[in-house]
Amino acid sequence: MLNFLKQYIKSMRLYYSFVTGIAGWLGFAFYEHIATDFKTVEIMPSVEKKALIISMLFLSWGINQIVNDFLGMKEDRINAPERPMVSGKLNPIKALLLSAFLMIFVVIITFLYLEPIAVIPLVLGVLLNVIYEYSKAYGILGNIIFGLMITMCTAFGFLAAGPTQAPYFTHSRISVLVVVWLMNGLMTFYTYFKDYEGDKAAGKNTIIVKYGIEKSRFIAIFSAFLPAILFTIIYKLDLIIAPLNSTFYLLAVLTFFLEIQTGWLYFKNPKGKVTYYSLATNFRACACGQATFVALFNRELALILFILSYVFVGFLFNLHHNSRA
């Protein structure tokens, strides 16, 4: 049992937890911003509810990752042959059953203790995770589905925080989701570099497979500018009504450099072992970018989340030093 749990936790790849966790916390911070500054039905959630929601968000990636590993075993036999499920160290049926039990438990807790409507993005996130594995065979569709899947964390964080009223998705809320969608769709694009050989062999026609390594190197550089461009356009169009502040500017500059560094790393080393270790910067750019977004609603929280994301994404990633696992 202890060995099973060890291999299960290893398969969760907890450095990803900051991607889903901060994405959800962004939705939560947005809700608290509305509850504090606007006289509507939103109310500040209790500390207990906040801790429960954040815990579920941080663990959501790992629980769903078991499903992703099961569906992606064909390419993982080439890309990561030493992963617990591929190598036989983790029983796939038992792992799937544990994930199913945890998912059902989260759904029940959300429906009975939090907000019933939050079950919708929760269930959609699980379904999109399944669809994602098959959408990788259709180029950019895989990135679109992955980004949409992570936006479900933001929607869940917002809707689970407390009561809200229709329309649930205003132009401001949709704009937040669009930025989260782009950042995560871009993040998963960079992960495809390390999986090039396995994806190609398994018939997964990702952008890297479709255009080849050389062309994708230049796409990597260009794509690094997209989140900053998108946010600037959205903000100039007054689609997000929240004042910019000094904390946001500081974190935005740092995030921009992380994004440019990510693009440069994959331009310089698009294949080989280095592509795996460049993931740490890639994940940091995504998680820290989402933390930067939080500064629009809570400056102190954003600064804390940015620092924690930068430190712990690197720390947790270094625990998975084996690129074949």
Mean pLDDT (whole number) for 259-272: 95
Does 19 have pLDDT greater than 90?
yes
Mean pLDDT (whole number) for 134-152: 93
325 pLDDT band, cuts 50/70/90, is: low
The mean pLDDT value of the chain amounts to 92
Q: How many residues does the chain have?
A: 325
d(CA 206, CA 188) in angstroms, rounded, equals: 10
Q: Contact 256/289 with Cβ under 8 angstroms?
A: no
Q: What is the pLDDT of residues 222-233, one digit of tens each?
A: 999 999 999 999
107 by Cβ neighbours in 10 Å (0-12 / 13-18 / 19+) ranks as middle
Output the pTM of the full model.
Answer: 0.94
Percent of the chain with pLDDT strictly greater than 70? 100
Task: Flag the least confident range among 41-45, 104-108, 179-183.
Answer: 41-45
Can you tell me whether residue 246 is helix, strand or coil? helix
Q: What is the CA radius of gyration of the chain?
A: 19
Domain ranges of the chain: 2-318
Name the residue with tokens 């995030």.
255
Q: At what angle do helices 279-294 and 171-191 cross, to 10 degrees?
A: 170
78 pLDDT band, cuts 50/70/90, is: confident
Give just the sign of the alpha carbon dihedral 209, 89, 312, 275: negative
Stronger pLDDT, 132 or 323, i.e. the higher one: 132
